[in-house]
Structure 1
Amino acid sequence: MIHITKTEKSNLISATINGKISKEDIEKIHPLIHNIVENGDKVDFFFELVDFEGYDLKGIWADLKVDAAHISDYGKMAIVGEKEWQQWAARATDVFTNSEVKYFDLTEKEEAKRWI
């Protein structure tokens, strides 16, 4: 589940993510991406993963479609997590996108906020 959190940075989507991401979760974020892109900005992301379990099947498909449509619209991504596989996923995202992606441990959350 994705919980959008308020931020003062106009091109930043900030969220806490736990459990599994569903299609409905992706549908919450997609309009936010459009709003930022329509203003001529790159979309930055701050994702805090807490007890994150990945995606359900419809969720991963929806996310892949959104990413394919907007991959050139993404800027920086700060991924704050608690598991080694999340760090590997962040590295893979960095390799496959033009975005600057950094992984931070939960203990480095404030550093991640400053970076983004």
Structure 2
Amino acid sequence: MFKEILTAHDNVFGLVCEGKLTKIDSEQIHAFLHGRLEGGTKPGLVLDLTQFEGYEKPRRC
């Protein structure tokens, strides 16, 4: 899973990733980043991966 951190800052944003990320998590992070970068500014990014364990393997049908 991931969550946004540093929400009180306009010129920098942060994400913390914990555990294993799913395909849905990756899609949500992608959408989040596009949304934050739409304004034309170039904010800084802080990415906390200290609790990141990798990516969840896709399930087979």
TM score, norm. by length of structure 2: 0.60
Structure 1 segments, 4+ long, off by >4 Å, are none
Residues 67-116 of structure 1 show CA distances to partners (whole Å, capped at 9, x for unaligned) of xxxxxxxxxxxxxxxxxxxxxxxxxxxxxxxxxxxxxxxxxxxxxxxxxx
Q: Higher relative contact order at CA 8 Å, sep ≥6: structure 1 or structure 2?
A: 2
Counterparts in 2 of 1:20 and 1:8: CA distance versus 1, 3 Å: same
Write the mapping of 1:47-62 to structure 2, written as runs, cut at 5 A: 47-57=47-57
Residues 49-72 of structure 1 show CA distances to partners (whole Å, capped at 9, x for unaligned) of 2332112245xxxxxxxxxxxxxx
Residues in 2 aligned to 1:11 and 1:35: alpha-carbon distance in whole angstroms: 14
Q: Which residue is 1:96 aligned to?
A: none
Q: What is the identity percentage for the equivalent residue pairs of Structure 1 and Structure 2?
A: 33
Counterparts in 2 of 1:21 and 1:34: CA distance versus 1, 3 Å: same
Greater CA deviation, 16-25 or 27-36?
A: 27-36
The answer as to whether partners of 1:13 and 1:32 remain within 8 angstroms in 2 is: no
- Partner of 1:35, secondary structure, is helix
- Partner of 1:9, secondary structure, is coil
Q: Tell me the C-alpha RMSD between the 2 structures.
A: 2.3
Structure 2 gaps of 5+ residues are: none
TM score, norm. by length of structure 1: 0.39
Structure 1 gaps of 5+ residues are: 59-116
Which one has a larger percent helix, Structure 1 or Structure 2? 1
- Partner of 2:26, secondary structure, is helix
For this pair of structures, how many residues does the alignment match? Answer: 58
